[in-house]
Amino acid sequence: MEITVTINGKSHTADVEPRTLLVQFIREQVGLTGTNIGCDTSSCGACSVHVDGEAAKSCTLLAVQADGCSITTIEGMAAADGTLHPMQQAFMENHGLQCGYCTPGMVMAATSLLAENPNPTEEEVRIGLEGNLCRCTGYHNIVQSVLACAKS
Amino acid sequence: MTMTDNTTGVLGQRLLRREDPALLTGEARYTSDLPIPGALHLAVLRSPYARARIVSVDTSAAAAMPGVTAVFSGADLAEAWAGPMPCAWPVTEDMKSPTHYPLAVGQANYVGDGVACVLATSATAARDAIDAIDVEYEPLEAVIDLEDALSDRVVIHDEIGTNRSYTWDLKIEESEGQVDQAFADAAYSVKERYIQQRLIPAAMEPRAVAAIPQPFGGDMTLYSATQVPHILKVMTALTLGIPEHQLRVVAPAVGGGFGSKLNVYAEELLCVALAKRTGSPVRWTETRSEGNQATIHGRGQIQDIELAADSDGRLTAVRVRLIGDMGAYLQLVTPGVPLLGAFLYAGVYELPKAYDFSCTSVFTNMTPTDAYRGAGRPEATYAIERAMDSLAAEIGIDPLELRRRNFIPTASYPYEAMTGLVYDSGDHDRAATLAADMIDYAGVRARQQTQNVPGATKRLGIGVSTYFEMCGLAPSRVLASLNYGAGGWEAATVRVLPTNKIQVVTGTAPHGQGHETAWSMIVAEKMGVSPDDVDVLHSDTAIAPLGLDTYGSRSLSVGGVAIAIACDKVIDKAKQIAAHQLEANPDDLEFSGGEFRVAGSPDRAMPLAAVAFEAFTAHNLPDGLEPNLEAHTTYDPPNFSWPFGTHMCLVEVDTETGQVDVLKYVAVDDCGNQVNPLIVDGQVHGGVVQGLAQALYEEAVYDSDGNLQTSTLAEYLVPAASDVPAIETGHTVTPSPTNQLGVKGIGEAGTIASTPAVINAVVDALSGLGVRDVPMPASPNTVWRAINEAQGGQQ
């Protein structure tokens, strides 16, 4: 099936199998490998992207369901001149990442969280990120990163 | 906060990580991100039975499917292996190890054991074809329970005739019968059984492999999500009969390991063997549910521990009996894991030479176990720290007070333990006092008096644990005495380029620990340059040919110290060049801030940059001195490293639901001098949560037929942010006296300390209800049942 999806401001038209997941389309056909796959049950959130401005796990959507949508992946977050997005900067300054594998999904989920709730409490951040798993940081510095980003 | 102009005092700064921009922008490439034109995709058919005879494998239908290029059964590939899958730790002379091939031949021995495989032009075509392979199995009775395994009622592997792999003893007595006598004479004694449940490491990046052959040149490159590219290279060469010098192993960005990527896996060997056979690149990426079955599990022990104490509560003897769950086969270091704990069952306490440890390890029809963050040491620390609480209850004193009475006194360091190992340094009372202050220990005890009254449904509990980490995993001679199949050294090369930029080549293989940042700081401190001018090269055996990789909290205390020593060698050589140029005696030169100066003549100086360029042009070097500034070191430390600390956990337990809420968690860790406190705290946070997850959430659950009930992340409860508390970190600094940086490890400390701290807190909360123990994971249901049983089923 032919679909047209805008990813990071660029339009992509492609032929996809109906069973192709959005994350597979992004990684394998568009070649944007910053979006990671960490599970096969939509549990880990490593593949989180923005679909029409809201965070979504890109393994929960078929590519055909994203036809006509505008998607932002981690590659679309930093400015063209290389300046990191404030959330990326906050993760860096607060050591909110170690191995980095959950990080793109975390950053996408966290920016979506702040878009909905610009001034969250620590507990609201923890609950807001419960769909994204991290095995390295114990979440402490991820939460600090999001709170710091909200403050700035 | 990046530091570009400060060229001294770099060590100890919270320098931001140079690794982060690539990881934060999606630029970093993990193995499954690598574009590999023409690659064939591997998929593995796995046994749905825990134990079954493989009667026949019909691959014809699968082979006819679109995109499929080849299908192999285990028998088809029997000739591909020069030897079976490697186990590098034969702990005893008579250890039994069943033959283990990348694909099972004749009999499958756990759910997830590879039986056949497909190569196809896409991952989906390969997975589709797996379903078309027709395997006829004859299911056999599976062995899941460890004591059942020990009985040999059903023997899993006919070829070894028993389920017992080995028995390993460590009995230390000054006179025969001393342990028995100590128990006979004890004023107090406790005898406890603890179950270390199986855990699934669940690094966020699933394993991934790509093997790229060069059919005419003969070389092979293996990309793998591994912690151990160097060990993998040696073992792959041996197992496949490939000349080692024609094999290059690269670990690109690696998304966490925790021991699960400290191994040599079937899929790595399959990819290389099939790339060699087909002449095409072959790649494989694990699915999560595949990984839960086919990547090693951790823990899996039954621990019986007995403590004897005198009338003051001072330990007089410790006796430990373990049953270790090896799973279906021995992986790389499977049998050695319980041994790493054997030295720590007396914790940080003084113990006379009255110690009796014995471990019998058995095969079961479950996923093989192996090293998981802490590997043997969390188990040991859990047992002694839980048993110390039981002993305190027996004596009727506060558990912190009991610990203080038993701490090895600071003045006794270096302390020769009853095992003969020498603990290099420690100050346990200081760490415990700091932790007690941070959590307001006395205040909590007072609150308990008013809160934990009869009928209270929200009960407050505080748990203490103290620990030694025993890490570094060296010296090589000590590893030899444990029959470990490799050494414990680490290699480093430091190379000053003509423009005074510095390349460091390390044998460590980071997968989240921030070695590039930390190692650049060590070099900056030593050489008087900015960390930004230091490049750290690693994890590619063509660039860093020598190394023993990253595990066991060894990277800084072995690999980092190696770098410091290599810097010293470079400085020595540079000094000769500078002295020659300055017409001075090398012994009169001082080096600091990146400059050589003649002592007493501050105007006669030469910066390292100028020396580097002189070394490069070689126009005017001292007679006999080779050009270029480069030094290599292989460092074998004189001792393990001995980080220690005290963790405390405050919980509130709802007695009606069994729900445990962690109200506060305090971690005081002493890892000696800290290179980068930002990274140290991050290691502690992550470690604590992994240990807390064992205490409260995680367990690899099998049914009695050997089916893994937690094969996905929907069932295996890796905690989320909302499930865990903030972690308050504190540090004391007791520099290691055995290395020039004064550093110790930190990677496993949190995991070692936190599990007993959490369970001690839960049991403390419920002690007024008669609860003496709560099994792990202390889920609401488990806690509720423990309360109910203690109350005589009345609740």
- Token pair belonging to A72: 């932002």
pLDDT at B772 over 80: yes
Round the CA-based radius of gyration of chain B to a whole number and report it: 28
Placement of tokens 């609740």 in the chain: B795
Task: Kindly state the average pLDDT of the residues B208-236.
Answer: 96
CB contact under 8 A, B713 and A107: no
Nearest chain B residue to A42 by CA distance is: B714
Boundaries of every domain in chain B: 20-27+489-635, 37-140+204-256+261-294, 298-473+639-790
Alpha carbon distance B90, B212 (integer Å): 32
Q: In B, which residues are within 8 Å of A75 by CB distance?
A: 25-27
One-letter-per-residue 3-state SS of B414-456:
CEECCCCCEECCCCHHHHHHHHHHHHCHHHHHHHHHHHCCCCC
b/e burial code for range B633-660 (CB count within 10 A of at least 16 → b): bbbebebbbbbbbbbbbbbbbbbeebeb
Q: What confidence tier does A130 reach under pLDDT thresholds 50, 70, 90?
A: very high
Q: In A, which residues are within 8 Å of B28 by CB distance?
A: 100
At residue B1, the pLDDT reads: 33
B37-140+204-256+261-294 has CATH 3.30.310.80 classification: no
Contact B776, B697 (CB under 8 A): no
Instruction: Please name which of B203, B105, B248, B103 lies closest in space to residue B540, comparing C-alpha atoms.
Output: B248
Alpha carbon distance B686, B223 (integer Å): 27
At residue B8, the pLDDT reads: 58
**Ordered DSSP codes for A80-146:** TTSPPPHHHHHHHHTT--SS-SSHHHHHHHHHHHHHH-SS--HHHHHHHTTTS--SSSTTHHHHHHH
Q: In B, which residues are within 8 Å of A130 by CB distance?
A: 720-723
Per residue in B453-494, pLDDT tens? 999 999 999 999 999 999 888 799 999 989 999 999 999 999
Task: Kindly state the average pLDDT of the residues B18-32.
Answer: 98
Placement of tokens 């609401």 in the chain: B780
Alpha carbon distance B24, A111 (integer Å): 13
| Among candidates A91, A104, A137 on the partner chain, residue whose Cβ is nearest the Cβ of B26 | A104
Alpha carbon distance B158, B166 (integer Å): 16
| Among candidates B1, B28, B686 on the partner chain, residue whose Cβ is nearest the Cβ of A98 | B686
Determine the straight-line distance between the first and last CA of chain B, rounded to whole angstroms: 57
Give B 237-296 residues with CB within 8 A of chain A: 253-256, 258, 287-289
Q: How far is A50 from chain B (nearest CA, A)?
A: 15
Count Cα atoms within 13 angstroms, Cβ side, for A41. 15
Q: How far is B38 from chain A (nearest CA, A)?
A: 14
Amino acid, res. B192: E
Cα-flanking dihedrals φ and ψ of residue B5, to 5°? -115, -10
At residue B474, the pLDDT reads: 79
Q: Edge-to-edge strand order for the sheet containing B534-537?
A: B534-537, B502-506, B490-496, B629-635
CB contact under 8 A, A95 and B35: no
Q: Peptide bond before B66: cis, by omega within 30 degrees of 0?
A: no
Amino acid, res. B88: A
Q: In B, which residues are within 8 Å of A100 by CB distance?
A: 19-20, 22-24, 28, 253, 255, 512
Contact B25, A74 (CB under 8 A): yes
Nearest chain A residue to B2 by CA distance is: A93
At residue B794, the pLDDT reads: 59
DSSP SS3 for B550: coil
Give B 686-705 residues with CB within 8 A of chain A: 686-690
pLDDT at B87 over 70: yes
Alpha carbon distance B551, B370 (integer Å): 12
CB contact under 8 A, A102 and B204: yes
Task: Kindly state the average pLDDT of the residues A83-110.
Answer: 98
| Among candidates B254, B682, B720 on the partner chain, residue whose Cβ is nearest the Cβ of A141 | B682
**B306 vs B170, B190, B345, B726, B788, CA distance in Å?**
15, 5, 10, 34, 26
- Whether residue B746 lies within 8 A of chain A, CB to CB, comes out as no
Pairing mode of beta strands B415-416, B422-423: antiparallel
CB contact under 8 A, A100 and B1: no
Alpha carbon distance B118, B120 (integer Å): 6
Q: In B, which residues are within 8 Å of A84 by CB distance?
A: 21, 24-25
Residue B793 has what DSSP assignment?
Answer: T
Pairing mode of beta strands B354-363, B595-598: unpaired
Cα-flanking dihedrals φ and ψ of residue B467, to 5°? -155, 160
Alpha carbon distance B544, B549 (integer Å): 11
Q: How far is A76 from chain B (nearest CA, A)?
A: 8
| Among candidates B21, B288, B512 on the partner chain, residue whose Cβ is nearest the Cβ of A39 | B288
**Ordered DSSP codes for B690-748:** HHHHHHHT----B-TT--BS--STTTS----GGGS---EEEE-----TTSTT-B---TT
Q: pLDDT averaged over chain B?
A: 96
**Residue B306 C-alpha from the chain's centroid:** 27
Looking at the DSSP assignment, which residues form a beta bridge with residue B540?
A: B250
Per residue in B721-768, pLDDT tens? 999 999 999 999 999 999 999 999 999 999 999 999 999 999 999 999
Per residue in B323-371, pLDDT tens? 999 999 999 999 999 999 999 999 999 999 999 999 999 999 999 999 9
Q: How far is B645 from chain A (nearest CA, A)?
A: 19
Per residue in B424-459, pLDDT tens? 999 999 999 999 999 999 999 999 999 999 999 999
Per residue in B686-712, pLDDT tens? 999 999 999 999 999 999 999 999 999
At residue A64, the pLDDT reads: 98
pLDDT cut 90: percent of chain B above it? 96
CB contact under 8 A, A138 and B288: no
User: B602: Cβ–Cβ under 8 A, 6 or more apart, which residues?
Assistant: none
* pLDDT: which is higher, B218 or B649: B649
Q: In A, which residues are within 8 Å of B714 by CB distance?
A: 41, 43
pLDDT cut 70: percent of chain B above it? 99
B2-11, B100-109, B277-286, B514-523 — which is least confidently predicted? Answer: B2-11
Contact B399, B392 (CB under 8 A): yes
Contact B87, B331 (CB under 8 A): yes
Q: How far is A21 from chain B (nearest CA, A)?
A: 12
At residue B602, the pLDDT reads: 82
- Whether residue B726 lies within 8 A of chain A, CB to CB, comes out as yes
Alpha carbon distance B307, B89 (integer Å): 30
Alpha carbon distance B23, B223 (integer Å): 19
- Mutate which: B16, B23, B24, B29, vs A, most A CBs within 10 A: B24
At residue B3, the pLDDT reads: 37
Q: In B, which residues are within 8 Å of A140 by CB distance?
A: 685, 689, 726-727
Alpha carbon distance B734, B744 (integer Å): 9
Alpha carbon distance B664, B659 (integer Å): 15
pLDDT at B516 over 70: yes
**Residue B496 C-alpha from the chain's centroid:** 33
Contact B204, A101 (CB under 8 A): yes
Give B 124-183 residues with CB within 8 A of chain A: 124
- Token pair belonging to B622: 């001292």
Instruction: Please name which of B663, B630, B674 lies closest in space to residue B757, comparing C-alpha atoms.
Output: B663
Give B 493-522 residues with CB within 8 A of chain A: 511-514
- Total residues found in chain B within this entry: 795
Q: Chains A and B: how many Cβ contacts under 8 Å?
A: 179
pLDDT at B5 over 60: no
pLDDT at B163 over 90: yes
Cα-flanking dihedrals φ and ψ of residue B700, to 5°? -80, 110
- Token pair belonging to B68: 């499929």
Q: Which CATH architecture has domain B20-27+489-635?
A: 2-Layer Sandwich (3.30)
pLDDT at B2 over 60: no
CB contact under 8 A, A135 and B721: no
Alpha carbon distance B418, B178 (integer Å): 13
CB contact under 8 A, B724 and A43: no
| Among candidates A93, A127, A137 on the partner chain, residue whose Cβ is nearest the Cβ of B685 | A137
Amino acid, res. B63: A
B298-473+639-790 has CATH 3.90.1150.10 classification: no
Give B 34-53 residues with CB within 8 A of chain A: 35
- Token pair belonging to A32: 């944007």
B20-27+489-635 against B298-473+639-790: fold identical: yes
Q: How far is A142 from chain B (nearest CA, A)?
A: 9
Alpha carbon distance B115, B131 (integer Å): 12
Looking at the DSSP assignment, which residues form a beta bridge with residue B590?
A: B597
Write down the pTM of the prediction.
Answer: 0.97
Nearest chain B residue to A127 by CA distance is: B722
